[in-house]
């Protein structure tokens, strides 16, 4: 291991030994200060995001603002980590929540501030310290986040950005100072990191891919469903784990709904990411665009039909595509991470649920119907960490976020996230 990296890990471990004893309320005050700094510098940090991964500047600024809002939620949260007294025959009968120590965050490029802070904020508030391995194109974002923590008054070593590549992750995770890992990324990356953590008997949290269903039933408000469906597929150029990747439309409204969806889709015109009027720009890297184009071609070779062609305009830009996909097409077992959507048609609720669930992923789903009984049916039957009714998927710090199946395990956001990287310690005595 590079000596400079080992020094940072040791620094994080040393900081942990003091940070874990800082009162919960004092930690919250520092988080509130950091949130204020992020909010005040949202435009500056938004430009960093846009320059690194091509996100339209208004979306990048909003990402920083949302991160500040999330941090304020934790700055004002109830202390669910205080010792719990349990009724028993013992004179001392309590549960204590002890932070684990140094936690490694392996974070992606698609939301360079949000993903990092969504993991780091509750982990740090719980008393842990954090070292970040960010995506290689987002080192500027990682360094900016570290500077905010220092400027807010956090002790040195509580949050550190490590400018390292994927090859160094194994050594870092195996280091004696590191007690757990949180990864947001692909299924492949999650499996590799979880394997390393498992062999070392270290806690892991995985937030992986998704292929979310956007289900439109015959009694839905079709105009709203079309508007939010296009946005749910194409915001951040479709590079979102909870993007609406599969539109499952009830057959009776196909002819009415699909033209509305196409019309909304066509409002997303490729533009300069630094222009505040731009709704969609290029993908983060040319190789990612290559991957998406190859998936599109394979889908067509296996029977998919073009609704709107995925037209490549440059090395990383596409006019967004939409295609009919039938049950059995191998593309349904993959995640499309870019501006390409799939349309599937089904008749009954049972057929729709079967299509929605018949994939490896289980992150989030969106169902559009006014019928209360049908809403409850889908809530019960859909295999995903989140079910949205008459709204597109979006995360909210008040509610737990996570998936099932190949979409990962563990909880981010909400008060539950505060207990992800702690040990529940039983204390009994006479």
Query: Does 220 score more than 90 pLDDT?
Result: yes
Nearest Cα neighbor of 295 from 262, 270, 325 is 325
Judgement on whether residues 201 and 232 belong to the same structural domain of the protein: no
User: For residue 91, is pLDDT > 90?
Assistant: yes
The pLDDT tens digits of the residues spanning 307-333 come to: 999 999 999 999 999 999 999 999 999
Choose among 181, 94, 101: nearest CA to 424: 94
| Catalytic residue set | 207, 241
Residues 244 and 320 in one domain: yes
Q: Are residues 164 and 220 in the same domain?
A: no
Whether 318 is in a domain gets the answer yes
Quickly tell me which residue has 């996100």 as its tokens.
Answer: 55
Do 414 and 383 lie in one domain? The reply is: no
CATH at 151: 3.40.605.10
> In 153-281, which residue ranges form alpha helices assigned H by DSSP?
169-174, 187-199, 222-234, 254-265
Say if residue 240 is in the same domain as residue 364.
yes
Task: For residue 159, list its beta bridge partners.
Answer: 130
State the pLDDT at residue 1: 79
Q: Is residue 20 part of a domain?
A: yes
**Residue 330 in domain:** yes
Domain-located, residue 250:
yes
Establish if 299 belongs to a structural domain: yes
Kindly report the CATH number assigned to the domain that includes residue 280. Answer: 3.40.309.10
Q: How many domains does the chain have?
A: 2
Q: Is 17 exposed, middle or buried (0-12, 13-18, 19+ CB in 10 A)?
A: exposed
Query: pLDDT tens-digit profile of 177-216?
Result: 999 999 999 999 999 999 999 999 999 999 999 999 999 9
pLDDT band at 90 (very low <50, low <70, confident <90, very high): very high
In a domain, 382, yes or no: yes
For the segment 250-283, what is each residue's pLDDT rounded down to a tens digit? 999 999 999 999 999 999 999 999 999 999 999 9
- Other C-beta atoms within 10 Å of 25: how many? 9
Instruction: Let me know how many helices (H) and strands (E) the chain has, helices first.
Output: 13, 20
- The Cα–Cα gap between 128 and 102 comes to 6
Does this model's pTM top 0.85? yes
| % of the chain with per-residue pLDDT over 70 | 100
Do 68 and 91 lie in one domain? The reply is yes
Nearest CA to 126 out of 422, 398, 411, 415 is that of: 422
The answer to whether residue 141 scores a pLDDT higher than 90 is yes
Same domain, yes or no: 324 and 418 = no
Give CA angle at 309 (303, 315), nearest 5°: 115
* Alpha-carbon distance values, 70 to 52, 116, 268, 412 (Å): 23, 12, 28, 11
Residue 297 has pLDDT above 90, yes or no: yes
Question: Domain span at residue 275?
Answer: 212-389
Does residue 321 sit within a domain?
A: yes
Same domain, 108 and 191: yes
Examine the domain organization and report whether 241 and 254 are in the same domain.
yes
> Is 399 part of any domain?
no
Asked if residue 195 and residue 286 are part of one domain, the reply reads: no
Our measurement of the distance from residue 395's CA atom to the centroid of its chain's CA atoms, rounded to an integer in Å, reads 8
Which of these, 359, 409, 356, lies nearest to 387 by C-alpha position? 356
Residues 104 and 233 in one domain: no
Q: Does 68 share its domain with 171?
A: yes
């Amino acid at each position: 291991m590079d000596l400079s990296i080992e020094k940072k890990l040791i620094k994080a471990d040393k900081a942990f030994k003091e940070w874990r004893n800082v009162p919960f309320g004092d930690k919250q005050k520092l988080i509130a200060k950091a949130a204020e700094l992020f909010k005040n510098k949202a435009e500056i940090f938004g430009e960093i995001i846009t320059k690194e991964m091509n996100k339209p500047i208004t979306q990048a600024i909003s990402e920083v603002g949302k991160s500040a809002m999330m941090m304020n939620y934790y700055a004002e949260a109830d202390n669910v980590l205080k010792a719990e007294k349990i009724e028993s025959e013992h004179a001392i009968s309590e549960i204590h929540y002890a932070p684990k120590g140094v936690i490694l965050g392996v974070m992606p490029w698609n939301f360079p501030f949000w993903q990092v802070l969504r993991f780091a904020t509750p982990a740090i508030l719980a008393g842990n310290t954090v070292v970040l391995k960010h995506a290689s194109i987002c080192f500027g974002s990682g360094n900016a986040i570290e500077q905010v923590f220092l400027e807010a008054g956090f002790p040195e070593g509580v949050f550190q950005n490590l400018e390292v590549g994927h090859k160094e992750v194994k050594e870092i995770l195996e280091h004696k100072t590191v007690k757990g890992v949180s990864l947001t990324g692909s299924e492949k990356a999650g499996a590799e990191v979880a394997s390393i953590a498992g062999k070392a008997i270290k806690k892991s949290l995985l937030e992986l891919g998704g292929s979310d269903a956007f289900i439109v039933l015959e009694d839905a408000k079709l105009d709203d469903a079309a508007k939010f469906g296009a946005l749910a597929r194409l915001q951040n150029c479709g590079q979102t784990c909870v993007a609406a990747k599969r539109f499952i439309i009830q057959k009776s409204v196909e002819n009415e709904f699909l033209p509305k969806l196409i019309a909304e889709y066509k409002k997303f015109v490729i533009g300069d990411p630094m222009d505040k009027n731009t709704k969609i720009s290029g993908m983060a890297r040319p190789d990612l665009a290559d991957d998406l184009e190859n998936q599109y071609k394979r889908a067509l070779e296996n029977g998919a039909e073009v609704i709107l062609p995925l037209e490549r305009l440059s090395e990383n830009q596409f006019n967004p595509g939409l295609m009919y996909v039938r049950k059995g097409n191998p593309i349904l077992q993959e995640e499309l991470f870019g501006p390409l959507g799939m349309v599937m048609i089904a008749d009954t609720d049972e057929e729709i649920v079967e299509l929605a669930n018949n994939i490896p992923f289980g992150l989030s789903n969106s169902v559009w119907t006014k019928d209360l009984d049908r809403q409850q049916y889908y809530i019960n039957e859909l295999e995903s960490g989140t079910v949205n009714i008459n709204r597109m998927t979006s995360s909210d710090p008040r509610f737990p976020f996570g998936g099932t199946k190949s979409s990962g395990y563990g909880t981010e956001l909400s008060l539950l996230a505060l207990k992800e990287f702690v040990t529940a310690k039983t204390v009994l005595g006479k």
